[in-house]
Amino acid sequence: MSDGVTHFLTGEELSSEELSALLSRAHELKQDPAGSRVLSGRSVALIFEKPSTRTRVSFETGVHELDGHPLILRGEEMQLSRGESVRDTAYVLSRHVAAIGIRTGRHATAQELAKNASVPVINMLTDEHHPCQALADLMTLQETFGGLEGLRLGYVGDGNNVARSLAILGARAGLQVTVAAPVGYQLAPVAGARLTDDPREAAEGADALYTDVWVGMGDEPATAEARREALAPYRIDEALLARASDRAIVLHCLPAHPGEEITEGLLYGPRQRIWDQAENRRHAQKALLERLLAVV
């Protein structure tokens, strides 16, 4: 990723070796938050066309810890909301900032931004991918188990952007990822991932069980009840966790709705590493920014 401008849109930009090095650096930065000044005197534009808690907080504080200035741009405040093209936005921002992050709906918007920007562009979330979340997930698994190769991760629920990024980056890290989702909500095939409609199959012997909300930001309110009905058998509860390994942990990218996709007892219980995931967003993203800017 150090040869010229490179973007991070899906996670597929990273080889297995690059991913391993990035995660190692993330652990170093977690131990020494002020250990890099790669952004000293520079700014990073962070475009938020969708609401955010963890993404905004982790990126904004992370850029600050890298000694840079996070420039928060909300969608309704930008000329994009009044018809300015993504191309023109990319041209302008590239003249002022060291990198651009975007949290939006259509993945094509992030692709168009990256195509026209002369600085690195980071996908902070699109409807198809959430690769920064997956980086934090892998970091959390490393912290828990000491390594990643051969770990079994069962994702249960909607086959959405989070599931896709886990499948892509998990395969690069040597994980065995199984995604269990009902018909109509299944993930399109991803190399290295196993797909099923049986949540028990995904949980059997797993080292980690993972879920996400049943009704997300991009889902139509009119479909909410139908989604909840279809996904109800895919709740992570104590019975499903009992099928996993004795050492299994529970993961969730948040926000959570206890009683829907996960029980309250697991969300706040001793086997979850959910709040570590939320913190690790910052450290993994700092390592990513550092690597994209070719200073390690």
Alpha-helical segments (H) within 66-209: 86-94, 107-116, 131-145, 161-173, 199-203
Cα–chain center distance at 272 = 18
Residue among 212, 235, 252, 282 flagged as catalytic: 212
93: left (phi over 0), alpha (psi -120 to 50) or beta: alpha
Per the residue annotation, which of 111, 133, 142, 272 is the catalytic one?
A: 133
Is residue 253 annotated as part of the catalytic site, yes or no?
yes
Whether 111 sits among the annotated catalytic residues: the reply is: no
Residues 58 and 282: beta-carbon distance below 8 Å: yes
Query: How crowded is residue 283: how many other Cβ atoms within 10 Å of its Cβ?
Result: 24
In the set 7, 25, 56, 103, the catalytic residue is 103
- From CA 58, how far away is CA 63, in angstroms rounded? 8
Task: Specify whether the CB–CB gap between 202 and 217 falls below 8 A.
Answer: no
Catalytic residue list contains 152? no
The alpha carbons of the chain give a radius of gyration, in whole angstroms, of 19
Catalytic residue among 25, 54, 56, 130: 130
Which one from 281, 282, 283, 291 is the annotated catalytic residue? 281
Find the catalytic residue in 207, 253, 272, 283.
253
Query: Is position 74 annotated as part of the catalytic site?
Result: no
Residue 103 catalytic?
yes
| CA max distance for the chain | 54
255 prior amide bond cis, ω within 30:
yes
Report the catalytic residues. 103, 130, 133, 212, 253, 281
